Structure 1
């Protein structure tokens, strides 16, 4: 997938025939914020579900990720971060386009300098414990959408769009 900038609003306008899903702001005031240097990013989804344990996040981002975006369901936990600068640097080294975390990250100033798209709910300095817990390649549900590995995700400062196929020019 190309890293050509796009605007999610335009993707929705340009593809009315597609069944695109839009991640909605959460009722409790939580919303995704952009933290990485890459402000518009997308790619084929790889999913992981983990709660306050970033073992699987670290493992996946240490693998080849060209054209991919890791989508992490952290259960919206605000108690610890599921990614920091070292794991984000590993993602860049392994060519991931981005990471979307339904939870927290840390080391935001360092992550802001990396050529990586990063959306998360919040930042917190507390790291997670690693116990090897988590499931990969399963369907995730948050923000009013269902996301599975193999879908395509497009994110920018306007929001996050999910498609079941790659959209042209993205």
Structure 2
């Protein structure tokens, strides 16, 4: 979904729905935009991994039409869970965006890609690949629960989560 929306307006227009807002600061860290697509949203695909981006790479190499990958990286700031090559794969496979509760790298290259990317920080260190990580779990960060199949919307104002599509 590359629709024009503002998360503030989505919240105001759907006040009767059970919407969740991701806390803007988590343990002193806040989500930042890194991709060229600042406003993005779609159906959630989840992955939980800690300092191993194997599953992130695998998922972003599959068809992501209408989807956003939500990565629970445990808020690790020791290594990146996505760099430019994996982000390029996401663009080729039509993902709308990636939200990482952790870090990215190659931020100048990612900033040129038509992909929504929000993460806590950037770091040049890459992750290990040991094939570790779980797909499809309900993840919890930023005071919200995000389940596979939910819908997520992100822009410069923040991130909101809904049980069904809002637009």
1:34-71 CA deviation, whole Å, 9 max, x = no partner?
Answer: 00000000000000000000000000000000000000
Instruction: Indicate the SS of the match to 2:38.
Output: coil
Report matched runs for 1:130-141 at 5 Å. 130-141=129-140
Report matched runs for 1:1-170 at 5 Å. 2-168=1-167
Residue ranges of structure 1 left out of the alignment (5+ in a row): none
What TM-score comes out, normalization by structure 2 length?
A: 0.99
Query: What's the offset of the Cα at 1:27?
Result: 4.6
1:127-154 CA deviation, whole Å, 9 max, x = no partner?
Answer: 0000000000000000000001100000
Instruction: Indicate the SS of the match to 1:46.
Output: strand
Residue ranges of structure 2 left out of the alignment (5+ in a row): none
* Separation in 2, partners of 1:142, 1:157: 18
* Separation in 1, partners of 2:34, 2:4: 16
Give the 4+ runs in structure 1 shifted more than 2 A. 25-28
* Separation in 2, partners of 1:80, 1:145: 24
- Residues 26-35 or 144-153, more deviating: 26-35
What TM-score comes out, normalization by structure 1 length?
A: 0.97
1:78-107 CA deviation, whole Å, 9 max, x = no partner?
Answer: 000000000000000000000000000000
Query: What's the offset of the Cα at 1:8?
Result: 0.3
